[in-house]
Amino acid sequence: MENNKTTLQHLLQIPVLVAALGYLVDMYDLFLFSVVRVPSLKALGVTGEQLLPEGVFLLDMQLAGLLIGGILWGVMGDKRGRLSVLFGSILLYSLANIANGFVQTLPQYAALRFIAGIGLAGELGAGITLVAEILPKQLRSFGAILVATMGVLGAILAFFVADLFEWRMSYFVGGGLGLLLLVLRFNVFESGLFVQLKHKSVQRGNIGMLFQGNRLSKYLLAILVGVPLWFVVGILITFSPEFGLSRGLVDPIVAGKAVMLAFTGQAFGDIFSGMLSQRLQSRKKAIQIFILLSFAMMVFYLLFPVQNTTQFYALCACLGFCNGYWTLFIILAAELFGTNLRATVATTIPNFVRGATIPLAAMFVLLKPSLGVTNGALVIGAVVVIVALVSLHFLDETFAKEMDYEE
């Protein structure tokens, strides 16, 4: 009983809760754009066949913002502290999201999705870094579970808000949530490890250090471990209407519903993978099991005969569950590097993984004419899974690793 009480006291610390709520807001926006893409573009005068290419362009602008923001916020997190990122990123995101509700032209929309992407890029990495440094090593998996669960709740919230309100109001709600969270963050304290680091004569947030010694290989391997996650989200779920059509379903698949169900499944997967990591006392074993489960479910999703949309949506939820090692993967990335590079790594790695959607989508489009939708996706899925498993093999186990060290 006493141990449970102590665990709750650690997990319910203000910095941990605020990091988790930050990911909720982060996922709200990332998912919201997927849901309101079509109605918002139609309201701006885009119709017919132009909906897809214009939507892809806006998504690419958001991803470009995430990539650039990941580097900017990561470096700032190591140079100026984790709190600077938590404050700056949420402020930028909130203002950009509110402005999204006022757009009148496509160029305005694209510019604001880019700015919102920059703001969103800092949330998860800085939050996970703070959680990893504040919690005892035996509780870091539980911290990941809490952050992941709140994040997926944000995606589900976006689905229902967009269903209840017009698309402009949905953006206003997201911006308002961000500003409310900003107020809460005034009570957050800085990571003790970073406070100690500031008094040491070591380089902080120097990206050039990633190209020295074995750090670059470790960094690249960590990115490759996460690529299957966004192959599932960016290809299999995002293009679920096309996959449903290729399976001969008469009723069309609604992408927003498929994404919502996949993220709901991922919430439970994140909880289970975190608990499994605790049980096995290993990050690598838990992630390996989930990568294998994910590939098995990819094959099932692509080849299992479905009779109706209900069965297809159930497969989306199962695919999401098997994809539930996202925050465990970011905890692993944060644990791989010292305090003076930890925020840089934990912030850039997930955004480079998200950015992998761009080449994966291009590869999917390239293979589609010759192999078809199903076989093209199967080939790409098999490649990214094999690469991820090999990369994971060469990474160190970090479960019991102490966080108080520098590169």
Instruction: Give the pLDDT of residue 4.
Output: 58
Residue pair 152/263 in contact by the 8 Å Cβ criterion: yes
Instruction: Give the pLDDT of residue 3.
Output: 57
Residue pair 287/325 in contact by the 8 Å Cβ criterion: yes
Residue pair 285/332 in contact by the 8 Å Cβ criterion: no
- The answer for 281, left when phi > 0, alpha when psi is -120 to 50, beta otherwise, is left
Phi first, then psi: give them for residue 396, nearest 5 degrees.
Answer: -75, 150
Instruction: Give the pLDDT of residue 293.
Output: 96
Mean pLDDT by 10 residues, the chain (407 residues): 62 80 85 83 84 80 88 86 82 93 93 92 81 81 79 83 91 92 75 71 77 88 94 87 84 83 86 89 95 95 90 94 89 88 87 85 85 90 96 92 79
Instruction: Give the pLDDT of residue 101.
Output: 93
Residue 311 makes CB contacts below 8 A (sequence gap 6+) with none
- With CA atoms as reference, report the closest residue to 149 among 314, 33, 237, 24: 24
Domain 13-184+207-393, classified CATH 2.60.120.380, yes or no? no
The type of residue at 299 is: V
- With CA atoms as reference, report the closest residue to 146 among 7, 288, 279: 7
Is the pTM higher than 0.85? The answer reads no
Domain extents for the chain? 13-184+207-393
